[in-house]
């Protein structure tokens, strides 16, 4: 049982890591139009490897944005089909000067591999590919279970292309379970299944004042300043207790169950350690009356990501900018909907807009929140597989992040989703010096081998 596959994986660890480095060298930044060719290059790199290890029907599927990569092996009649998902796009690497080594030149330090995408999600996607390769080796070019692989190159920008594809072609993706490797462990050595994800709406607020930029000495006192107006709007979105002031925003929330709350209380969590080592701010903020774990996974939030515009160069320029922009997102929890949240938000922004300016809000992308059921046999298979490798019982946590396609898999394919991830809390996702703990890369491959094999049993 899997012995040969595990042996193959163990023997080929160095090779797997070297291949991952090659994958990481491709700057597949989905949000930057200048990198569209790199995104495609990563898709081709992945497709070539899927073909090489033995998958069939491997192809790129074009979408309105970046391509999907598909492959399958369906030669085990009567056995379950696992739909393996990952994303090969990455977030922009900036701020570049905070990286200790360049983001697209992967290096090993202290048992970690550092690069943009190391853990989110190229490294975790590669674990699945290497697990499949090892199983193909053990079973003489076959697999002990049916497999479809579907990867996307625009998860980090909302995943519109894959959502459309899944909605339109559910029959081409028939499966019994989906395996998603794109989340984190609660702490090192603690196998974790993610049983919820927040949804999100990512928006822009654009404020316009005068018809053109103006000299602030000549016109200051009469011309409205869009940045001041924007700051007033943003300041109005939350109160001093970090409560979101958008009317009705919290109305639809379904609170966690007593069982969930009790389980979260039992998780090993030291708030002060978390503040110091993970966040590194003088104090933690957030809604009163909710624990940190609740605040970062089961409560909605609102954040500002940047305010482009005006003069931001070195030195000074006395100008009243004609317009100001803010990028604002909100994380949503069950049973909020992205459409409902956006409608309430957009109306409230207009309501609190100060005089003298026009304000426009735009929805850039959105995804729905999900809670994932644990009463299906695949959860137990995942728990068993991870126990075999980590020698520990799995904890169930909700992830604070979003993976828009997970909800679509549940809704349109009607499959349970297993979110088995091997990132660590200090892996710096989306931040400078992103890393993946190399031991987790290897143990992740082993865990996936055992899980896939048990799905065919
Ligand atoms: N892999 C993350 C999401 C994640 C991270 C979930 C850790 C749970 C734990 C994913 O790549 C991500 O970053 N998603 C974006 C989605 C958004 C841009 C639509 C996010 O959450 O910001
Ligand atoms: Mn990811
Ligand atoms: Mn991400």
For residues 241 and 376, membership in a common domain is answered with no
Distance CA 318, CA 439 (A): 54
Q: Is 46 found in the same domain as 71?
A: yes
- Tell whether 178 and 225 lie within a shared domain: no
| Span 80-91, pLDDT tens digits | 999 999 999 999
Cα(297)–Cα(263) distance, integer angstroms: 14
Q: What is d(CA 147, CA 432) in angstroms, rounded to the nearest whole number?
A: 35
State pTM to two decimals: 0.94
Averaged pLDDT for residues 290-303: 97
Instruction: Tell me, yes or no, whether 384 and 305 share the same domain.
Output: no
Grouping H, G, I as helix, E, B as strand and the rest as coil, residue 283 is coil
The CATH code of the domain that includes 407 is 3.40.630.10
Single residue among 351, 366, 381 that ends a domain in this structure: 366
pLDDT value of position 1 = 64
CATH number for the domain that contains residue 220: 3.30.70.360
Nearest bound ligand to the CA of residue 156: 1
Cα 323 to Cα 47: distance, rounded to the nearest angstrom: 44
In whole angstroms, give the CA distance from residue 333 to residue 336: 6
Residues 182 and 51 in one domain: yes
In a domain, 282, yes or no: no
Give the tens place of pLDDT for each residue, 242-284: 999 999 999 999 999 999 999 999 999 999 999 999 999 999 9
Domain boundary among 366, 381, 411: 366
User: Domain for residue 166, yes or no?
Assistant: yes
List all residues 6 or more positions away from 194 whose beta carbon is below 8 Å from its beta carbon. Answer: 183, 184, 372, 397, 398, 399, 419, 420, 421
User: Which residues line the pocket of ligand 1, CB cutoff 6 A?
Assistant: 120-121, 155-156, 158, 182-184, 194, 197, 200, 365, 367, 399, 401-404, 429
User: Which bin fits 189, alpha (ψ -120 to 50), beta or left (φ > 0)?
Assistant: left
**82 and 187 share one domain:** yes
Return the structure tokens found at 191. 């196998």
> Among 342, 368, 403, which residue has the most ligand 1 atoms within 8 Å of its CB, making it the best to mutate?
403
Tens of pLDDT, residue by residue over 403-450, are 999 999 999 999 999 999 999 999 999 999 999 999 999 999 999 999
From first CA to last CA, the distance across the chain in angstroms is: 10
Domain enclosing residue 322, as ranges: 200-253+300-366
Residues with CB under 5 A from ligand 2 (ion): 120-121, 182
In this structure, is residue 288 part of a structural domain?
Answer: no
- Rounded to the nearest angstrom, the distance between the alpha carbon of 356 and the centre of ligand 2 is 41
- 239 CA from centroid of ligand 2 (Å): 31
Distance 184 CA to ligand 2 centre (A): 10
Q: Which residues contact 363 (CB under 8 A, 6 or more apart)?
A: 201, 202, 203, 342
Q: Are residues 185 and 214 in the same domain?
A: no
DSSP H or E run through 73: strand 68-73
In a domain, 150, yes or no: yes
In this prediction, residues 21-32 reach a mean pLDDT of 98
Cβ proximity of 182 and 87 under 8 Å: yes
* Gap between the Cα atoms of 133 and 48, Å rounded: 13
User: Are 306 and 395 members of one domain?
Assistant: no
How many helices (H) and strands (E) the chain has is answered by 14, 18
Tell me the CB-side half-sphere exposure of residue 169, using CA atoms within 13 A: 11
On whether residue 289 sits in a domain, the answer given is: no
Ligand having the closest approach to the CA of 154: 1
In this predicted structure, what is the pLDDT of residue 324? 98
- Asked if residue 319 belongs to a domain, the reply is yes
Residue 451 lies inside a defined structural domain of this protein: yes
- What's the rounded Cα separation, in Å, for the pair 447 and 382? 8
Q: Which of 326, 344, 366 is the last residue of a domain?
A: 366
Same domain for 90 and 48:
yes
Sequence-distant (≥ 6) Cβ neighbours of residue 141 within 8 angstroms: 54
- The answer on 331 and 205 residing in a single domain is yes
Q: What stretch of H or E contains 407? A: helix 405-408
How many domains are contained in the chain? 2
Shared domain for 138 and 226, answered yes or no, is no
The ligand whose atoms approach the alpha carbon of 329 most closely is 1
Tell whether 279 is covered by a domain: no
Do 146 and 244 share a domain, yes or no?
no
């Amino acid at each position: 049982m899997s012995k040969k596959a595990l042996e193959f994986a163990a023997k080929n660890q160095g090779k797997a890591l070297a291949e991952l480095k090659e994958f990481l060298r491709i700057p597949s930044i989905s949000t930057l139009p200048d990198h569209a060719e790199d995104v495609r290059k990563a898709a081709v790199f992945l497709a070539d490897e899927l073909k090489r290890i033995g998958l069939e029907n491997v192809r790129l599927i074009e979408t309105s944005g970046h391509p999907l990569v598909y492959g399958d092996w369906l030669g085990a009649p009567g056995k379950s089909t696992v739909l393996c998902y990952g994303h090969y796009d990455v977030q922009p690497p900036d701020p570049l000067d905070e990286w200790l080594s360049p983001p697209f030149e992967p290096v090993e330090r202290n048992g970690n591999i550092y690069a943009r995408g190391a853990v989110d999600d190229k490294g975790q996607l590669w674990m699945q590919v290497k697990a499949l390769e090892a199983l193909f080796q053990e079973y003489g070019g076959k697999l002990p279970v049916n497999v479809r692989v579907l990867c996307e190159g625009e998860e980090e920008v909302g995943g519109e292309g894959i959502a459309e594809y899944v909605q339109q072609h559910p029959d081409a993706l028939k499966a019994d379970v989906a395996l998603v490797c794109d989340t984190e462990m609660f702490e090192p050595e603690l196998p974790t299944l993610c049983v919820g994800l927040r949804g999100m709406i990512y928006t822009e607020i654009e404020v316009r004042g005068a018809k053109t930029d103006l000299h602030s000495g000549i016109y200051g006192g009469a011309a409205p300043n869009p940045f001041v107006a924007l700051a007033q709007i943003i300041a109005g979105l939350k109160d001093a207790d970090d409560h979101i002031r958008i009317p009705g925003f919290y109305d639809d929330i379904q609170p966690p169950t007593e069982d969930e709350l009790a389980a979260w209380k039992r998780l090993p969590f030291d708030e002060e350690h978390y503040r110091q080592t993970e966040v590194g701010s003088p104090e933690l903020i957030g809604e009163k009356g909710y624990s940190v774990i609740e605040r970062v996974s089961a409560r909605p939030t609102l954040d500002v990501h940047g305010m482009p515009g005006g003069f931001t160069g070195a030195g000074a320029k006395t100008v009243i900018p004609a317009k100001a922009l803010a990028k604002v997102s909100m994380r949503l929890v069950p049973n909020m909907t992205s459409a409902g949240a956006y409608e309430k938000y957009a109306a409230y922004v207009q309501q609190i807009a100060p005089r003298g300016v026009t304000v426009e809000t735009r929805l850039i992308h959105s995804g729905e929140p999900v809670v994932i059921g644990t009463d299906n046999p695949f959860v137990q298979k995942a728990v068993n597989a991870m126990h075999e490798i980590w020698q520990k019982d799995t904890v169930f946590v909700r992830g604070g992040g979003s993976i828009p396609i997970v909800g679509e898999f549940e809704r349109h394919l009607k499959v349970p989703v297993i979110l088995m991830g091997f990132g660590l809390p200090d892996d710096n996702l989306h931040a400078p010096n992103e890393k993946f703990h190399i031991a987790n890369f290897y143990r992740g491959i082993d865990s996936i081998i055992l899980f896939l094999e048990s799905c065919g049993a």
